[in-house]
Structure 1
Amino acid sequence: MQPSCKSRRRWCMGRAVWISLLLLGALSAAPIETDVSPEPAAAPPPAPSKPPAFSTVVRGQGAHPPPVAAGDFHIQVGQLADVPRNSATDLLLLAPGVMLANHGGEGHAETVFIRGFDAGEGKDVEFRLNGVPLNEVSHAHGHGYADTYFIIPELVDTLHITEGPYDPAQGDFGVAGTVEYQLGLKRRGLMVSGSYGSFHSRRLALVWGPQETRESTFVGLLLRQGHGFGPNRAYANAGAMAQGELAVGDTSRLRFFGAGYAARFSSAGVIRETDWVARRLDCGPSEEEQFFCLYDPNQGGATQRYLGSVELMTRLKQGGRFIQQAFGVQRQMRIRENFTGFLNDHTPPVGESQRGDNTEQSYTGTTLGLRGRYTPGITWWEQPQPLELGYFVRSDTVHTRSRRLRDRGGAPYLTLFDNDVRVTNLGAYASAKLSPRPWLLLRGGARLDSFLFGVEDQNRPEEDRQGARIPSEAIEAYGFTLSPRLSVEARLTPRLSWLTSVGLGARSSDAAALSDAEFAPFARVTSAETGLGYTAGGETLTVEARGAVFATRVSQDFVFDEEAGRNQPVGASQRVGAFSMARLTLQERVDVQASVAWSRASLPAAGASPWKLFGGTVMPYIPGFLGRLDASVRGEAALWGERVGWNVALGHSTLGPKPLPLDRYSDPIFLFDAALRGRWKAVELGLTVENLLDARWREAEFNYVSNFRGAEAPASLLATRHFSAGAPRTLRGTLTLYLDFEEEHP
């Protein structure tokens, strides 16, 4: 059971504060009257001078299609880009019920908690960049692994997050939802930004959008390097992105996009809580040095990625559109991690001791694909009734392998799996919007997906009961799934809507878990959601609020297994939860957003009714409560006769206690980040502080049996807590130059 409020007074006080903020946001969502007529005789006031503009990382595209669910967000980050963020992945925190963690180092994909799911590094969230899928099938570190660290934040234009499988366009891995990054550079000209901070962190960004071109044409470069906040946490990475758009006739445009990225990083892994408390680790004697210590210095990884796409967009008569896209991705990655020390080498050679549990996971893959959608302009009942038809073709050729490495020298001594994988995913969908009444909008459709797996297992025995054999074996599997989805939106008032959505989705199977001639190699997800959405806006003040409750059931789920170092199947799971968010924007001067979310994830008992949503064993590692606050205030001041723009921003995350195996719970986490910037003409200076209060927090926490005492020491059978230390207070100063900005410097 979760610890009582009496025993965790600080946690419960924090939860009460979040609930109060939520109620305050809901009460503030009142109609906004803007009809104020000036006196006819009065002269118009002089136009206010335009303050120096700050760099905005993410901006919305204006009009967006109606949401398919209460949890469907076209995020216009706008001024909230001022809040400190390390990467494009951190933008996910602007969606309610999302939290991130990373136990693998600067360059390892983030673990995503969303909608009551521990989505790992992508197993339950579909990631796309400009329409190109990022989830990697049968990745050695975890099926669906998706690394968005390579995306340059300054080039992200729009972030579309759909929580739940409610849009017919959502495909494989869209169990907890889909995240779509769209790139663009609205601010034309050249921006050069350099920063230096704690632990010798350095960052250099360059983005350029020629004045004569549209926002979809740009070039970006990003270099990052640092020593990390403790031993064995150094990193270095470099990435480049470029996109161009050409007109083809009067109605078509051709868009080219390419990206390249390379990184290398070290990781400290996890440490046992008992060793930290007793100060037995091989670092300095202080509590501080012990907290950020490590066992195995051979942990870390390296990765390379190349991505390209060509997209043809044609505008049809009567408002229709036809879009075709071809894409390709080449990916290579190697990760080394050690979660258990000297525990799993059960059969060392005679006379030798344990060789160690360091696990090397390597992945090399090539993805080729096509996608397209057709939207004819159709009008019924004197109102536009859009119909969309789409298709998706993806082919993956993958080599995925996991091996154990010796503690001394790092040579591999045992192969856990070694597979050559070929996967073909063919999908098609149809969706339609009908509005039989002005206050009623129906959106529904269905998606059909087929999966064909071909696996060459290169890790079979060289001998069986019938004698010698070739140590490889071929496996084939095939299946298809139909996923209907329906959403109903009722406009209760011009500003208040009630949205109800239901949908089925699917997650393809990991090749390592397939059997020959298996049919339907995928997991099914069933989800439903109902909630309210409120929007009110005027020329100066805009208020948006949403809230919903949801329930989800997955036929086959995964939970992290420390011995395998990756997620392993655990059977069916279910979730029930709720979220709420409110955002207030005042005249591009003040922007505040708060969100809270609660969920319960469990493993139902065998044969239990699917309607018993609150039954079963609680799933580990998934926090029940999440809260997030982002706020930014901008203004200007006169300094020595010159206009100087200023900005103050604050970000706060609350992460409730996470259930751990064996009926344990982690401590709650409270983090604060702050930023201060000033700009004069083309020069901007900034200071960001992450973990403002210098909290000692645990970014990842587990509870299991391990043996880090040494190869000769007997293993304890008592489970204990292990954790990966979170970053301490981190300061970073930034100098940014804006060149060739005609709209700001006429």
Structure 2
Amino acid sequence: MWISPLVLCLLSAAAEVPVSPPVPLEAAPPVMPADAPVLPAPATVLLRLTIDESGEVSRVEVRESAGAVFDGAAMAAALRWRFQPARRGEVPLEVQTDVPVTFTPPAPVAEAAPAASPGEREGKAGEGPSFSTTVRGRAQAPPPSAVGDFQISVGQLADVPRNSASDLMLLAPGVMLANHGGEGHADTIFIRGFDAGEGKDVEFRLNGVPLNEVSNAHGHGYADTYFIIPELVDSLRITEGPYDPAQGDFGVAGTVEYQLGLKRRGLTASASAGSFGSRRLSLVWGPPESSEATFVGLLLRQGQGFGPNRAYANAGAMAQVELRVGEETRLRLFGTSYAARFSSAGVVRETDVVDGRMPCSADADSQFFCLYDANQGGAGQRHIVSAELQSRLRRGGRFVQQGFLVVRQMRIRDNFTGFLNDVPPIGESQRGDNTEQYYRGTTVGLRGRYSPGLTLLGQTQPLELGYVARFDDVITRARRLRDHGGAPYSTLFDNQVRTTNLGAYGSLRLAPLSWLTLRGGLRLDTFLFGVEDQNRPASDRQGTRIPEESIEAYGFFASPRLTAEVRLSPQLIWLTSAGLGARSSDAAALSDAEFAPYARVTAAETGLGWNLGGEGRAYELEARGALFATRVSQDLVFDETAGRNQPVGPSQRLGAFGTARFTLEHRLDVQASVAWARATLPVPGASPWKVWDGTVMPYIPQLLGRLDASVRGDISLAGLPLGWNLALGHSAIGPKPLPLDRYSEPIFLFDVAARARWKWMDLGLSVENLLDARWHEAEFNYVSNFRGPDAPASLMATRHFAAGAPRTFRGTLTVYLDLQEELP
């Protein structure tokens, strides 16, 4: 008996791109099964292997079977093979291959010869398969759960000017960010026709760790991503809509997961300075002998801001190490610490700016960037530790187990209405509406998923099971502050909240026909809320009482989700998806023994995905487009009186998007998108099928466009070889509906950057808001009184806005040290 050498054939689609094939490092031959039947002729199993960027066999599929006994032996051997990964230039590739594994009958033996030993049945010692390779890069797969499920590699588009990792979300269609709170305040997210606040309708994760904060005083679901170091973001997965069973709480409009990694090894130091006293220093290091999952990063930022009371300072560190624990198991340890302080100018009345009544110089710019209340801003701290164990099982199965701990504290002060809401003691003046919102919380939890590696209808790993267990212990409160001195004079709410979330899901993938793939599953979530309300009255109708009260509530929700994929051609697919999602209740709004109400979302979309090129070619073009509709049982809209989002009843959306990305080697990367969405409050009693009827919801732009582009090249200047780069970012934002049938002005912003590189040094210049537009980053329409505590308040609503940044310059020097290979 002997086992023939394996032949590894990865078909190359273009020889013009320099691609190096994977090199086998460990490739022991398979073992002839002890219970194998007598072979009258050679038996061949054809396997399809997926070799990932680290050189490991991440998936094995049986393309042609030789029987269950031989299939299992061939798959077990393939999962133990190790490779030096395939590379295009210096970039590791994930590749696929069809590998024939042949089992042959034993050679004839003499009558007196002894039976072969188990060791002899494996072949000669040290003899393994030989490989002949031609490389084919794996084509970018269509979205796994919906057309709007985007696995976004940042890549060359990191050259486009961005202030933080939050801005990377603009690479998904239909996303707009706004920030009225200052450099360090979480962004308000507009996505898929939702005003998702600072996280109420978008689930955020960082390497699997949840970032949304339950019952935050500033807003349920508040999620600040400003602490993430942009240089360490390798990719994002943005799933628009609730179509993946793995999506959990707050995944109403979608889920955003940041995936960290550092491709460039060695030490990279970057220092920048720019307009308004801005300074930035980043240090990132990846040990050359380790994988991209091992890194350390440090980021320091400071500046005076583009107007009065906009200064900021923050610092953060992130580190991760990947360790091998046994032959089939990896352990990733991750940690980050962050602290920030920032001031905010808040909002101003447009009429006061136009009439020159602001308490600043009389010139137009001073009036535009002025403020009323200097006691606005905030501070925060965040610390995260996480441990993730990844194990590869027999027959391609996988088991991932993660534990995490998050410690968070923040305080935000803002004033939206001036002197309007306070009811002062008799004979005293208004004390002001400045609101302090405080949150301190500890989150501890476990996440896990298991793929047993089954084969069903010719599909490997069709089943995935997962769970989440999360506990939050939170102190959350809101107080009114005096206009003079900032001392608190009234408590709006003061709660200690303990929440336990237990969730589980199962998903299944089947391909009953060669052109049809079905994916779907069911998710179950339960919540137990315990609230200590520490702001109850000291007396009631029955007499004095303790000003505290305990509240407990329980909630349960089931979310089925399904996607059908029809492959119309090798490059064109049609996907249709439908699913239910949910947002948990803000514990501060619950009653004792209540069955906690969820905000339920019903969503559906259908669209096309098209891919051309890739697979080793010099270029790749990917395009997608879809129509979608959603309905939410209980939506939230910003309320200026409370300074946070408040319930408004059911809402609905109808929309569409289109996006395309074109890459040409390492020279050109262009992505463009356009999205339209109409969000309305349905007419009471109207049919749920009429998703276009009703009152238009305020503050949500109906039309959004975005362009990101980067081009790189090389020149020789005075005999010196130089690399260069030009980048452009452009946002177009249509008019936003405001209350009382008003609309905001459209916004057009352009950001540009240029860079020159010589050996280990890189010089760059970026300009944001190139045309120096005077634009409103946030805009509202309501009643306020900023004229003083004794001034009569007008009952007429007027526009309020937070000013957007003017033209901003920034110069950057980057130095690359300890490199083991030439820079691309």
TM-score, normalization: structure 2?
0.83
Task: Name the structure 1 match of 2:607.
Answer: 531
Distance, in Å, in 2 between the alignment partners of 1:62 and 1:292 is 49
Distance (whole Å) between structure 1 residues aligned to residue 773 and residue 415 of structure 2? 26
* Higher Rg: 2
Alignment correspondent of 1:662: 740
Residue 492 of structure 1: aligned partner = 568
Please list the CA deviations of residues 314-352 of structure 1 after superposition, one character each: whole Å capped at 9, or x if unmatched: 011111110000000000000000000000002x11211
Which residue of structure 2 aligns with residue 182 of structure 1?
259
Q: Is the 8 A contact 2:220 2:586 kept in 1?
A: yes
User: Residue in 2 aligned with 1:611?
Assistant: 689
Amino acid at match of 1:691: N
- Give the Cα separation in 1 of the matches to 2:483 and 2:269: 44
Q: Distance in 1 between matches of 2:251 and 2:334?
A: 24
CA–CA distance in structure 1, aligned partners of residues 598 and 194 of structure 2: 18
Q: Is the 8 A contact 1:451 1:521 kept in 2?
A: no
**1:37, distance to aligned residue in structure 2 (A):** 9.8
CA distance in 2, matches of 1:108, 1:533: 36
What is the aligned partner in structure 2 of residue 156 from structure 1?
233
Q: Is the 8 A contact 2:347 2:416 kept in 1?
A: yes
Residues 71-111 of structure 1: CA deviation (Å, up to 9, x unaligned): 00000121111110111000000000000000000000000
Looking at structure 2, the residues matched to 162 and 178 of structure 1 have their Cα atoms a distance apart, in angstroms, of: 5
Q: CA 1:66/1:345 → structure 2, altered by over 3 Å: closer, same or farther?
A: closer
| Kept after mapping to 2: 8 A contact 1:242/1:259 | yes
Report what 2:21 is aligned to: none
Structure 1 counterpart of 2:128 = none
Amino acid at match of 2:398: R
Q: Structure 1 residues 167, 745: closer, same or farther in 2, change over 3 A?
A: closer
Counterparts of residues 369-388 of structure 1 (less than 5 Å) = 369-388=445-464
Match of 1:7 in 2: none
1:482 is matched with which residue?
558
| 1:235 equivalent in alignment to 2:308 | no
Deviation at 1:35, TM superposition (A): 6.6
Unmatched tracts of structure 2, length 5 or more: 1-11, 18-86, 92-136
For 1:303 and 1:729, how far apart are their aligned partners in 2?
28
Q: State the match for 1:127 in structure 2.
A: 204
Give the match for residue 785 of structure 2.
707
| Corresponding residue of 1:515 | 591
Change (3 A) 1:284 1:597: same
Identify if the C-alpha distance between structure 1 residues 53 and 149 changes in structure 2 by more than 3 Å, giving closer, same or farther: farther
| Partner of residue 193, structure 1 | 270
CA distance in 1 between partners of 2:138 and 2:360 (Å)? 51
- Matched ranges for 1:399-548 at <5 A: 399-538=475-614, 539-548=617-626
Q: Is the Cα–Cα contact under 8 Å of residues 302 and 333 in structure 1 kept in the other structure?
A: yes
Q: Aligned partners of 1:602 and 1:518: how far apart in 2? A: 29
Question: What's 2:26 paired with?
Answer: none
Alignment match, 2:110: none
Which of 349, 352, 374 is the aligned partner of 2:428? Answer: 352
Q: CA deviation at 1:380?
A: 2.5
* Equivalent in the alignment of 2:127: none
Is contact 1:301-1:334 (8 Å) kept? Answer: yes
- Match in the other structure for 1:680: 758
Contact 1:52–1:644 (CA under 8 A) maintained in structure 2: no
Shift of 1:63: 6.4
In the alignment, the residues of structure 2 paired with residue 744 and residue 227 of structure 1 have an alpha-carbon distance, to the nearest angstrom, of 38
**Cα–Cα, structure 1 residues 197 and 37, in superposed 2: closer, same or farther, change >3 Å?**
closer
Residue of structure 2 in register with 1:634 after alignment: 712
Aligned with residue 326 of structure 1, among 380, 387, 403: 403
Cα separation, 1, equivalents of 2:332 and 2:138:
17
Name the structure 2 match of 1:733.
811
Map 1:22-41 → 2, pairs under 5 A: none
Q: Which residue of 2 aligns with 1:217?
A: 294
Aligned to 1:595: 673
Bigger RCO of structures 1 and 2 (CA < 8 A, at least 6 apart): 1
1:215-263: CA deviation from partner (whole Å, max 9, x where unpaired): 1111000000000000000000000001011111100011100000000
2:16 and 2:618 in contact (8 A); partners too: no
8 Å Cα contact 2:403/2:445 also seen in 1: yes
Deviations for 1:102-139, whole angstroms, at most 9, x for unmatched residues?
00000000000000000000000000001000000000
Structure 2 counterparts to residues 225-374 of structure 1, below 5 A: 225-346=302-423, 348-374=424-450
Amino acid in the other structure paired with 1:483? S
Letter in 1 for 2:591: S
State how far apart, in whole Å, the 1-side matches of 2:474 and 2:683 are.
Answer: 36
1:440 Cα deviation (Å)? 1.1
User: Could you say which residue in structure 2 is the equivalent of 1:74?
Assistant: 151
State the AA in 2 paired with 1:386.
P
Deviation at 1:381, TM superposition (A): 3.0
The gaps in structure 1 that reach 5 residues or longer are: 1-32, 39-49, 55-59
Q: Residues 712 and 622 of structure 1: is their aligned pair in 2 closer, same or farther, counting only changes over 3 Å?
A: same
How far, CA to CA, are the matches of 1:363 and 1:383 in structure 2?
48
Tell me the secondary structure at the aligned position of residue 522 of structure 2: strand
Any conservation in 2 of the 1:645–1:680 contact (CA below 8 Å)?
yes
1: distance between equivalents of 2:713 and 2:622?
A: 23
Shift of residue 378, structure 1, vs aligned partner: 1.7
Where does residue 468 of structure 2 map in the other structure? 392
- Aligned equivalents of 1:136, 1:300: Cα separation in 2: 19
Q: Give, in angstroms, the shift of residue 382 of structure 1.
A: 3.0
Equivalent position SS for 1:293: coil
Indicate the SS of the match to 1:372: strand
Whether the aligned pair in 2 keeps the contact of 1:51 and 1:636 (CA below 8 Å) is: no
Aligned counterparts of 1:104 and 1:35: Cα–Cα separation in 2: 51
1: CA distance, partners of 2:14 / 2:396: 33
Instruction: Please state if 1:172 is matched with 2:255.
Output: no
Q: Distance in 1 between matches of 2:88 and 2:572?
A: 34
Task: Figure out how many residues of one structure are paired with residues of the other and give that number.
Answer: 697
Q: Please state whether the residue corresponding to 1:356 is helix, strand or coil.
A: coil
Whole-angstrom distance in 1 between the partners of 2:524 and 2:138? 30
1:147–1:745 Cα change, 3 Å: closer
Equivalent in the alignment of 1:9? none
Identity percentage of aligned residues? 75
**Mapped pair 1:622 → 2:700:** yes
Q: What CA deviation, in whole Å up to 9, does each residue of 1:455-494 have, x standing for no partner?
A: 1111100010000000011111101111000001100010
Contact 1:61–1:158 (8 Å) recurs in 2: no
Q: 2:722 is paired with a residue of what secondary structure?
A: strand
Residues 379 and 385 of structure 1 are in contact (CA less than 8 Å); yes or no, is this contact kept in structure 2? Answer: yes
Distance 1:700 1:129, change over 3 A: same
* Inter-CA distance 705–371: structure 2 relative to 1 (3 Å threshold): same
| Cα root mean square deviation, aligned | 1.9
- In 2 relative to 1, CA 37–633 (structure 1 residues): closer, same or farther, beyond 3 Å? closer
Distance in 2, matches of 1:521 and 1:137, equals 15
Which of residues 645, 652, 655 in structure 1 aligns to 2:730? 652
Which residue of 637, 648, 656 maps to 1:578?
656
CA distance in 2, matches of 1:548, 1:461: 53
Deviation digits for residues 243-291 of structure 1 (CA, Å, limit 9, x no counterpart): 0111111000111000000000000000000100000011010011000
Say whether residues 1:696 and 2:774 are aligned partners.
Answer: yes
Secondary structure, counterpart of 1:211 in structure 2 = coil
Taking structure 1 as the reference length, the TM-score comes to 0.92
For 2:504, the aligned partner's letter is A
Q: Which residue of 2 aligns with 1:99?
A: 176
- Where 1:715 maps in the other structure, the secondary structure is coil
CA distance in 1, matches of 2:618, 2:804: 40
Is the CA contact 2:585–2:596 (under 8 Å) kept in the aligned structure 1?
A: no
